[in-house]
Amino acid sequence: MMDQLTFKTENSGRIQMVENSFGPSGVRLFKPGRILIGEGRLIKQGHRKQQPKAFFLFNDILVYGSIILNGRWHKKQKIIPLENIKLVDMEDSEGFMHQWLIRTPSKSFFVSAFSAQEKQAWMEHIKECQSNLLQDGSRQPSSDFAMTWIPDRAAQKCMRCFSKFSATKRRHHCRKCGFLVCNACSKERVVIDHIHSNKRLRICSHCHEERSRQRGNSAESNSSDEEEVIAISNEEEEEELQNYTPMFKPWVYSLPD
């Protein structure tokens, strides 16, 4: 009984510290039954550059945010229900070590750990928490996932018309395929329900033609599994990696027997 009471008190304190680190703009994280499993830092691949982020794994959600004041404070809090996550392992290659893909219905992105052991710990604990969460059948795993964006630096030309990007011909991302395209090749806007139910999002001319053809061939062509996109992330913070010291706390906090 004492171990249970001690754990409950310590867990509440840890969750409160995470809440406080996001300041008044953060969402309240404490709720009955929620447990903070572990925390650490990962490098998130943004569409412009790599960015260190603080990640917090709970038994039902994954929370991450930008790091400020050397980790004492965080901002731009993002919360992902674990049932909406699909992990895809990635092989190591030159310039891309200890990386995996986190897919969600509204946004998919690559993250990398600072060692193979940390990567394994993250993936195993996320999968374990997700499995435990889905056991009672009250939550259903998502089947619709967004495509990842092609990083800005990966293309110097529009991936549809092959015109060279410049100061006046800017890069844009198609929300359906994730390709880098120019404005002339991405004038169409469509509603994609599992991204945003009432907002028209940019898609490229190729995806629009394909979508129109599918809708013409089948009355069920608006099925959400055809609408894999990445939501716009205008608020992406561009933290510099220079002078960045990796930090990784002990993965699993002590749980009561």
CA gap 223, 200 in Å, rounded: 17
The hierarchical CATH code for the domain 149-216 is: 3.30.40.10
Are the C-beta atoms of 90 and 101 separated by less than 8 Å? yes
Could you tell me the mean pLDDT of each successive run of 10 residues in the chain, 257 residues long?
82 95 94 94 86 95 91 90 94 86 90 94 95 90 82 87 94 88 95 78 91 70 38 34 41 58
Q: What are phi and psi of 201, to 5 degrees?
A: -110, 150
- Which residues contact residue 221 at a Cβ distance below 8 angstroms, ignoring those fewer than 6 apart? 211, 214, 215
pLDDT of amino acid 107: 86
Class of CATH domain 1-135: mainly beta
Question: pLDDT digit string (tens) for 145-182?
Answer: 888 888 787 789 999 999 999 999 999 989 888 889 99
pLDDT of amino acid 256: 60
Torsion of CA 173, 175, 176, 178, to 10 degrees: 40
The residue among 85, 165, 166 whose CA lies nearest residue 133 is 85
Same fold, 1-135 and 149-216: no
For the chain, which residues make up each domain, given as ranges? 1-135, 149-216
